[in-house]
Amino acid sequence: MAPLSKTYYLLNLGCAKNLVEGEHLAGLLLADGWQAVESSQEAELLLVNTCGFIQPAVEEAIEATLELAGDKTEAQCLVVAGCLVGRYGKKLAAQLPEADLLLAPGEALNLLAHLAAPPASRLAISPPRSLFGGADPRALSTGPGWAYLRVSDGCAQSCAFCTIPHIRGPLRSRPLDDLLAEAENLAALGVKELNLVAQDLTSYGRDLGGPGLTQLLGELSNIEGIQWLRPLYLHPDLIDDDLISAILGNPKAVPYFDLPLQHVADPVLQAMGRKRSGAQLKALVRGIRQAAPQAVLRTTLLVGHPGEGEAEFEALRDFVADMAFDRLGVFPYSPEAGTRSARLPAPPALVAQERAERIMSLQRRISRRRLAALQGQTLPVLVLGPHPDSDLVWAGRTQGQAPEVDGLVIITEGSVLPGSIAPCRISATHDYDLEGVLV
């Protein structure tokens, strides 16, 4: 079957920031008269927007690309974009001869020009300097009533285990007025919840000499139609009392603190190149809990990193038990070539995996206990529409549930227009999900 002319099939991998990048790539194509198709067989253009920051993501990206290449016909063009290309650049050409174009993040804005270029020039590689802005076309792929707002790209930090500064380049914040214009457009499209994303949200504006995150949140809260502002990825070395008060004092900022602490044992934090000590991180978490007992705290941990012996792991486990985070993700350490951590001895991968499972089984009990306290309460819920796993019920999210990483509210009764925020009485609670009826 010959592919339909000017049709594309987009496969987005990786994080929310990369999803926004994919929405812009789709936006460029649609603005140029291309059409999206659901099946790769029908498409003239096969576009894989890859992730590449850790080995499992690299393997997933290569597997997905080879799968598409396996069914690819002469009439189809296979483009590999995103962080895998950003990380390996020209070296990828030999490994993926099936790809007709390798498009690095630095060249994403020039997708159409590269598609129009003669097939010979397979490599579109340049350092990540450019940044999609509010005026660039964007095909929203998120559900009704919510969207991501990517406020910057790149990162000014240098955590020892992380490849992202190498892949996405230095911190590049988008100007305030550009972000406000995009947020206005999103509000006009019916977006009620704006999830602010970046590699390090706390550093927003530092490369521009300000304004910073506090002012951005303040300005965004003046936009009519936007009801919830959710700042994601608040760097624990950079969050301070002013920002905490600004979030708690902002009428539209949800009381949700996403703090990727990674660890709490000092020898591990030092090996990671993190600045705050375990004692300071404990004080930070306790301080937020004191200032806002109803706030939801999310964290991300990395186990098996160099410097972590059984004692350091036990210290982390006790910390998780004491702090009782509402939401928690844990990853086994993966030594990444080119990082400082990869030069240090680390516990075996099986030990890291086993430690991650021990943390998650503890967290499952904590999550169940914390959700149980919501039984009988009536909470505002962003109604998303039919539940992804069942046609019998709908789904929604509370202010305490971030998209794609946290649980959902299973709505068993009542219906409103998807994308609306409506009161919901919590009728049952589970390990990670809630159940409720719209009232």
Residue 228 identity:
W
Q: Which among 194, 180, 224, 217 is positioned nearest to 399, based on CA atoms?
A: 194
CB 117 within 8 A of CB 123: no
Q: Are strands 43-50 and 77-82 parallel, antiparallel or unpaired?
A: parallel
Q: What is the spatial distance between Cα 90 and Cα 171, in angstroms, rounded to a whole number?
A: 23
Q: Which of positions 133-162 make contact with ligand SF4 (CB under 6 A)?
A: 155, 157-159, 162
For ligand SF4, give the closer residue by CB, 155 or 284: 155
The minimum distance between CB 152 and ligand SF4, in angstroms, equals: 11
Q: Is 199 in the site for ligand SF4 (CB under 6 A)?
A: yes
- 302, β-bridge pairs: 331
Report the residue number, 164 or 183, with the smaller CB distance to ligand SF4: 164
Q: Tell me how far, at minimum, the Cβ of 157 lies from ligand SF4, in Å.
A: 4
Among 193, 200, 266, 406, binds ligand SF4 (CB under 6 A): 200
* CB of 65 or CB of 157, closer to ligand SF4: 157
The two tokens of residue 219 are 């300005």
**Contacting residue, 16, 48, 69, 164, with ligand SF4 by CB under 6 A:** 164
Residue 87 Cβ vs ligand SF4, minimum distance, rounded to whole Å: 13
In the bound complex, what is the minimum distance in angstroms from residue 118's beta carbon to ligand SF4? Answer: 36
How many residues sit in the footprint of ligand SF4 (CB under 6 A)?
10
Q: How far is the CB of 235 from ligand SF4 (least distance, A)?
A: 6
| CB of 406 closer than 8 Å to CB of 367 | no
Complex with ligand SF4: residue 305 or 355, whichever CB lies closer: 305
Question: 3-state class of 426 per DSSP?
Answer: strand
In a 13 Å sphere around the CA of 352, the CA atoms on its Cβ side amount to 19
Which residues from 8-67 bind ligand SF4, rule CB under 6 A? Answer: none
Task: Note whether 197 binds ligand SF4 by CB under 6 A.
Answer: no
Burial string for 25-45 (b: 16+ CB within 10 Å, else e) reads: bbbbbeeeebeebeebebbbb
Q: Counting contacts by CB under 6 A, is residue 123 touching ligand SF4?
A: no
301 binds ligand SF4 (CB under 6 A): no
Nearer to ligand SF4, 13 or 159 (CB): 159
Exposure pattern of 251-280 as b/e (b: 16+ CB <10 Å)? Answer: ebbbbbbbbbbbbbbbbbbebbbbebebee
Cβ pair 112, 81 in contact under 8 A = no
* Separation CA 243–CA 241 (nearest Å): 5
Residue 154 Cβ vs ligand SF4, minimum distance, rounded to whole Å: 9
In the block, residue with structure tokens 């003046």: 222
| DSSP codes, 346-403 | ---HHHHHHHHHHHHHHHHHHHHHHHHTTTT-EEEEEEEEEETTEEEEEEEEETT--T
- Tell which one of 22, 165, 231, 407 touches ligand SF4 (CB under 6 A): 165
- Decide: is 235 part of the binding site for ligand SF4 (CB under 6 A): yes
Q: Which of 1, 35, 33 is nearest to 10 (CA)?
A: 35
Q: Pick out residues in 378-397 that bind ligand SF4 (CB under 6 A).
A: none
Q: Which residues bind ligand SF4 (CB under 6 A)?
A: 155, 157-159, 162, 164-165, 199-200, 235
